[in-house]
């Protein structure tokens, strides 16, 4: 009798377990189906190529945009960019032995260098230094040092912020959208941004581009729809901050070569954004790309010729041409440019995603 009761109990228990197992299987199947419907875009590229700026644009164009409180959150980042940038200029002026136009500016420089940390600066920390920063920026020594910025590491947006220092230095200051697009804070780790575009769920995955962050990239490779690879095309005459030797454009090209030939991505469409067209256009007027790439044979002061050369550098890294390579010349801080480019890219991405779903 006891044996029969035990057998019944086990049978009932097994039914419960089987029911739970089936329920879990249904949930997993549903989750898997839903995950396939999500368009997962992986944003990759070397540091300071414009990935985070592109994501801010996606939020402005397709997301919840930035309300006043969201804009205010960028104030400490902008303050940090300005103070750190001015410190770099002061230090570079000293190392390059550029004499002060006004020797009294040395006192202003010392005040800026007395700031122990620019991290998490608030308004009360920053405003007392606004006059110092403005006076230093007006000195010819700092301007001449800035003109030699390819000889050291300096953020692209510093000039803009210094030219707007009196506006930024007001108590009533609220960052504009252009301010936040130019604000620079290095991405650490993996950051996911879900945005619904035309009713389709997109998941943008932003991963830090510095060398120390790249080992984390492989954690994001599952279920990727497309890869958006961003390149700072204006950096053909600059070297990496990490080693002070490697040409930045060469580094980007090497990263791209590794990714585009990675077995997991065979046949996948790559989208190449040759970014910072605005900066490249200004640079080619003054700097000869042939001094850095001896195989360049066309007009070094032609934007079109330089862009064509850079595009070929990347396209030639593809060993297997079966996968498509879409390319666009972009300016990530230009909202209308990014709106136009992404509208074109979006159609291709959705077509590729539909083909993938039909094959599964």
Annotated binding-site residue? 183: yes
283 located within any domain: yes
Q: Which of 129, 153, 174 is the last residue of a domain?
A: 174
225-242 residues labelled b (16+ CB within 10 A) or e (exposed): bbbbbbbbbbbbbbbbee
Annotated binding-site residue? 252: no
Task: Give yes or no: 248 in active site.
Answer: no
d(CA 218, CA 71): 32
Q: Which of 126, 152, 174 is the last residue of a domain?
A: 174
d(CA 322, CA 288): 35
The CATH number assigned to the domain holding 328 equals 3.40.50.300
Annotated binding-site residue? 278: yes
Task: Give yes or no: 184 in active site.
Answer: yes
Active-site residue (options: 179, 184, 237, 330): 184
Q: Is the domain of 264 the same as that of 118?
A: no
d(CA 312, CA 325): 12
Annotated binding-site residue? 50: yes
Annotated binding-site residue? 352: no
d(CA 112, CA 93): 14
Q: Is the domain of 156 the same as that of 253?
A: no
| pLDDT, position 31 | 46
Q: What is the edge-to-edge ordering of all strands in the sheet holding 39-44?
A: 190-197, 200-207, 39-44, 226-232, 270-275, 325-329
Q: Which residue has the tokens 């599952």?
A: 222
Note the helical H segments in 97-211: 105-113, 123-126, 130-138, 140-147, 158-163, 165-168, 177-182
Parent domain of 158: 75-174
Q: Is the domain of 133 the same as that of 193?
A: no
* DSSP state, residue 202: E
| Domain count across the chain | 2
Name the nearest CA neighbour of 252 among 265, 266, 239. Answer: 239
Annotated binding-site residue? 277: yes
| pLDDT, position 221 | 72
- In this structure, what are the phi and psi dihedrals at residue 209, rounded to the nearest 5 degrees? -95, -10
| pLDDT, position 4 | 44
Active-site residue (options: 135, 153, 210, 335): 210
204 located within any domain: yes
Q: Which of 174, 199, 232 is the last residue of a domain?
A: 174
Q: Is the domain of 208 the same as that of 104?
A: no
Q: Is the domain of 97 the same as that of 204?
A: no
Note the helical H segments in the chain: 2-37, 51-62, 68-72, 75-96, 105-113, 123-126, 130-138, 140-147, 158-163, 165-168, 177-182, 248-260, 277-286, 303-315, 335-359
Q: Is the domain of 208 the same as that of 293?
A: yes
Task: Give yes or no: 53 in active site.
Answer: yes
Q: Is the domain of 225 the same as that of 134?
A: no
Residues 6+ apart with CB under 8 A from 166: 130, 134
Q: Is the domain of 144 the same as that of 59?
A: no
Q: Is the domain of 252 the same as that of 283?
A: yes
Q: Is the domain of 259 the same as that of 114?
A: no
| pLDDT tens profile 249-285 | 999 999 999 999 988 888 888 999 999 999 999 999 9
Distances 12 to 1, 5, 8, 20, 254 between C-alpha atoms, Å = 17, 11, 6, 13, 61
The CATH number assigned to the domain holding 153 equals 1.10.400.10
Region of residue 299 (phi > 0: left; psi between -120 and 50: alpha; otherwise: beta) = beta
Active-site residue (options: 48, 139, 235, 237): 48
Q: Is the domain of 342 the same as that of 290?
A: yes
Annotated binding-site residue? 275: yes
Ranges in the chain, pLDDT < 50: 1-2, 4-5, 28-29, 31-35, 357, 359-360
Active-site residue (options: 139, 179, 206, 237): 206
Annotated binding-site residue? 21: no
């Amino acid at each position: 009798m006891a044996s029969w009761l035990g057998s019944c109990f086990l049978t009932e228990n097994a039914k419960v377990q089987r029911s739970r197992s089936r329920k879990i299987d249904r949930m997993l199947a549903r989750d898997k189906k839903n995950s396939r419907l999500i368009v997962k875009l992986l944003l990759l590229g070397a540091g300071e190529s414009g990935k985070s700026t592109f994501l801010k644009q996606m939020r402005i164009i397709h997301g919840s945009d930035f309300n006043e409180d969201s804009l205010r959150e960028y104030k400490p980042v902008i303050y940090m960019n300005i103070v750190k940038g001015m410190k770099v200029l002061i230090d570079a002026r000293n190392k390059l032995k550029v004499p002060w136009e006004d020797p009294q500016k040395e006192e202003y420089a010392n005040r800026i260098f007395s700031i122990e940390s620019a991290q998490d600066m608030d308004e009360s920390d920053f405003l007392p230094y606004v006059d110092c920063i403005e006076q230093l920026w007006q000195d010819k020594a700092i301007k001449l040092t800035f003109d030699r910025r390819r000889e050291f590491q300096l953020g692209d947006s510093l000039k803009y912020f210094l030219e707007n220092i009196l506006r930024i230095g007001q108590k009533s200051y609220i960052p504009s959208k252009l301010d936040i697009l130019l604000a620079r804070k290095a991405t650490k780790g993996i950051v996911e941004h879900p945005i619904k575009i035309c009713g389709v769920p997109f998941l943008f995955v932003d991963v830090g581009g510095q060398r120390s962050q790249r080992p984390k990239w492989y954690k994001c490779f599952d279920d990727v729809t497309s890869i958006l690879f961003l390149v700072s095309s204006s950096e053909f005459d600059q070297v990496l901050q990490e080693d002070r030797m490697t040409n930045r454009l060469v580094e980007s090209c090497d990263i791209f070569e590794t990714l585009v030939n990675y077995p997991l991505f065979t046949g996948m469409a790559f989208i190449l954004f040759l970014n910072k067209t605005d900066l490249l256009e200004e640079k080619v007027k003054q700097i000869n790309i042939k001094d850095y790439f001896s195989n360049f044979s066309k007009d070094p002061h032609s934007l079109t010729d330089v862009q064509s050369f850079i595009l070929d550098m990347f396209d030639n890294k593809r060993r297997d041409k079966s996968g498509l390579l879409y390319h666009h010349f972009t300016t990530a801080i230009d909202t209308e440019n990014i709106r136009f480019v992404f509208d074109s890219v979006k159609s291709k991405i959705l077509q590729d995603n539909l083909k993938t779903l039909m094959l599964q």
